[in-house]
Amino acid sequence: MDDTFDIFLKQRAVPLPRSNLAESIIAAAKPRRPAVRRAGFLDMLSDLFVIPQPAFAMVAVLVLGLTLGTYYKVAQPEFPETMQAAYASFLMAEGGTDYGDFL
Amino acid sequence: MANMDEETDESLLGRIVDGDQQAFASLVRRHTRRFHAAAYRMCGDGTESEDIVQDAFLKLWEKPQSWNAAKGVKFTTWFYRVVTNLAIDRMRKKKALPAGDAMERMVDTAPGQDQALYEKQRENALEQAVQSLPERQKTALNLCFYEELSNREAADIMGVSVKALESLLIRAKAALKDELTRKGVLGMPPARRVSHG
């Protein structure tokens, strides 16, 4: 009985769609989305510099900067005495120079 | 391009994401009839089912990323879900056919066509009985019995367990049998069914 019933159920008919349905769908789709532009050289170049997670990158740079700033003192070169003396003598010399000497 | 007909659906979809219209055309030509039938079985209306298939394909064209290859779902399985959901949405908006309409439509045709009339009445009664099933029972029946998907696939499409799907199927068939028996469609010879006087 179940087999007979299944056979009967299978007789349920489905009408064919109109013959040009697929083509009309294709035609309707064309204006809906612009064609994707092929990536040029500049696009590829700019893609190289895209930061995937900007917020994460900024935080990482900030933490790194603070760490370096705290633990590594930037070397301040001692002003050498010889240089200091040379600078003083230069100033002295400049002080004793009359502008007329240059002219 | 010559081998586009041999490409898998998933490969075509990869190119549709890049805006390849030829790939889209190929996919549409390949599946329109199949999904039109699926839509028709859900809503029982030829024009409506054409609109449903068109809507589904246009949604795919506009947002091809909505099909996610990474999830490992076959295109057809995913698209059955899209078409089924669109059909359900439309059915909810549309008023249901009044009961008995399909049988009454065929009563006053010319004599001499008894057998054809009888067959048509049975078809209409069956269609009406299927359409009057609860939504989930009808979807389960359409996907498993008519579209011949596996229980696993149909369960995935409907978002239920395989057990629940099997239960829906059993209930759908039982309800159909009851309804068709009640209407006298099952097991009646044509001579008794069709009378004009």
How would residue A75 be classed by pLDDT, with cut points 50, 70 and 90? low
How would residue A34 be classed by pLDDT, with cut points 50, 70 and 90? low
Alpha carbons B115 and B189: distance in angstroms, whole number:
10
* Residue B150 neighbours by CB distance under 10 Å: 12
Q: What Rg do the C-alpha atoms of chain B give, in angstroms?
A: 20
Contact B127, B44 (CB under 8 A): yes
Name chain A contacts of B176, Cβ cutoff 8 Å: 9
Tens digit of pLDDT for each residue in A45-66?
777 777 777 888 899 999 999 9
DSSP H helical segments within chain B, as ranges? 9-17, 21-43, 46-62, 75-93, 101-105, 114-131, 135-141, 151-158, 162-182, 190-193
Of residues B32 and A5, which shows the higher confidence score? B32
pLDDT of B131 higher than 70: yes
Contact B81, A54 (CB under 8 A): no
Average pLDDT over residues B184-190: 66
| Single-letter code of the amino acid located at A66 | L
Average pLDDT over residues A63-90: 74
| A101-to-A26, A92, A97 alpha-carbon distances in Å | 92, 15, 7
Nearest to A14 among B21, B41, B186 (CB): B41
Partner B, chain A 17-56, Cβ-Cβ below 8 Å: 17-18, 21-22, 24-26, 28-30, 32-36
How would residue B105 be classed by pLDDT, with cut points 50, 70 and 90? very low
Residue B88: the pLDDT is 92
How would residue B146 be classed by pLDDT, with cut points 50, 70 and 90? very high
Q: What does pTM read for this prediction?
A: 0.66
Q: Residue B33 is encoded by which pair of tokens?
A: 């009839």
Q: Nearest to residue B141, comparing CAs of A15, A16, A12?
A: A12
- State the Cα angle at A76 between A71 and A77, rounded to 5°: 140
- ipTM of the prediction: 0.77
Alpha carbons B192 and B197: distance in angstroms, whole number:
12
Using the 8-state DSSP alphabet, how is residue A51 labeled?
Answer: -
State the best of A33, A36, A37 to mutate against chain B, taking most chain B CBs within 10 Å. A33
Residue B168: the pLDDT is 96
Residue A35 main-chain phi, psi, to 5 deg: -65, 140
How would residue B144 be classed by pLDDT, with cut points 50, 70 and 90? very high
Alpha carbons B34 and B14: distance in angstroms, whole number:
21
